[in-house]
Structure formats: C-alpha cells, structure tokens
Amino acid sequence: MKAIDACIFDLDGVIVDTATYHYKAWKRLANEMGFDLTEKQNEQLKGVSRMKSLDILLQIGNINLSDKEKAKKAEIKNQWYRAYIKEMKPVDILPGTIKLMEELKEEHIKIAIGSASKNARTIIERIKIEQYLETIIDGNKITQAKPDPEIFLLAAQEMNVTPENCIVFEDARSGVQAANNAGMKSIGVGNPDTLTEADYVIKGLNDMNLSLLQDIFYNNRK
C-alpha cells in the first residue's frame, strides 16, 4: 500500500546552511595555491564529494597535483571546514525544520539524514537534532556519490521501508537525481530553475507542512 513511511533530508542547504563554511574553506585553499574561487564557480562544488570538489577546484586554477598531494590538500580543507562547523549551534537550524520534523514524528513517519558529508554527525551533534532521527547515512557509509542512489537506498534499508514510500528533500541537482534514481519522491529545496527534475520545489522547509507533503505524495502535485 502506498503511504509516506519516511522522509530523508540532505543536511547541507536543507537543514543547515553549511555551504558558506565550505566556500570559505575552498576559497582559502584556492588562495593558498595562488588563485581565487568566486561564488559563481563555487556552485559547481555543491552536492559533490570532497575529492570531486577538489578536482573541480584544481581545474579552475589550472593546477595538476599527484594523488598524494590531492589527499593532503583535501585534508587541509577539511580541517579548516571542521573548525568552522564546530562553532555551530541549534540557532543555525534553518527555519521550518523542527516544526516539520515534529509533524512527521506525530504521524509516525520516520526521518533520516542522507548526506554525502563525512562531517554530518559533527553538525548533527552541534545542532542537536538526534532525537528526531531514525538513522544517519553519511559519506563514511557510502562508496558511490550522488546522483548514484546508494545513499538513499541505504537509508530506506536501515529504516526498513520501501523506496517508493520515501520522500527526499534535496538542494542539489545531483541529489534530486539520486532520489529519482532510487525511485523516491523528490522535493527540491532552493532554486526551481536549478532543480527542474524534482517532483516539487520549495524555497525552504518553512514552506512545507504535512498536508502539502501528502498532497504531493498522493496526488503527484507539481
């Protein structure tokens, strides 16, 4: 029977805005290597893995590095990023998140995080949302990056729900594609011009409630 059994949320850009910290760390790394990273160029780094982001950054700077040097640069960037996010607090949770999660819990709809970030648990601990979550699938648990559906299929598996009864909230095109590839409903969070493949697009979680969620799920509302 078709029913909303679970909602899976990406973390960065959906529940918290860590994009600014990622940008700050990547820009700092670019500057150290002798070039700049603009906000527009930084858009290419959203929703992809750390090493893929580094490859894009090196391409922008027209720099070639060995695998060993790449690993070192990625680790430096991650150390800077971790230092930034350790300052996060519950006040950094984006508007509408807790209200929606409480509505979902009342209806016994399971909640998971599906984030490619290896630092997801650090952020979750800092913003204190563990009590709402059934499971956390992060970059430490997966081998395939979005748009591969692995991250969302694993979340469904750990929650013991079928993929078609899951709804995914994503702010990146690759994440929306991953949700679609998993056979799940996808709700884009952000710019509708970028998230054209999502089943429905909202500006932020404060634009979502249980009634609208059910409408999208059961009536295929666009």
pLDDT, tens digit, 9 for 90 and up, residues 76-128: 999 999 999 999 999 999 999 999 999 999 999 999 999 988 889 999 999 99
For residues 71 and 176, what is the distance between their CA atoms, to the nearest angstrom? Answer: 28
Q: Which of 54, 85, 116 is the last residue of a domain?
A: 85
Q: What is the CATH number of the domain that holds 60?
A: 1.10.150.240
* Annotated catalytic residue within 5, 10, 171, 199: 10
The number of CA neighbours under 13 Å toward the Cβ of 119 is: 23
Q: The domain containing residue 27 runs over which residues?
A: 19-85
* Annotated catalytic residue within 12, 138, 171, 199: 12
Among this protein's residues, is 10 annotated catalytic?
yes
Predicted TM-score (pTM) of the model is: 0.84
Q: What is the CATH number of the domain that holds 201?
A: 3.40.50.1000
42 with 148, same domain: the answer is: no
Does any domain span residue 62?
A: yes
Q: Which of 56, 85, 114 is the last residue of a domain?
A: 85
Does any domain span residue 1?
A: no
100 with 140, same domain: the answer is: yes
14 with 47: CB under 8 angstroms? no
Does any domain span residue 182?
A: yes
pLDDT exceeding 90 applies to what percent of the chain? 86
Among this protein's residues, is 215 annotated catalytic?
no
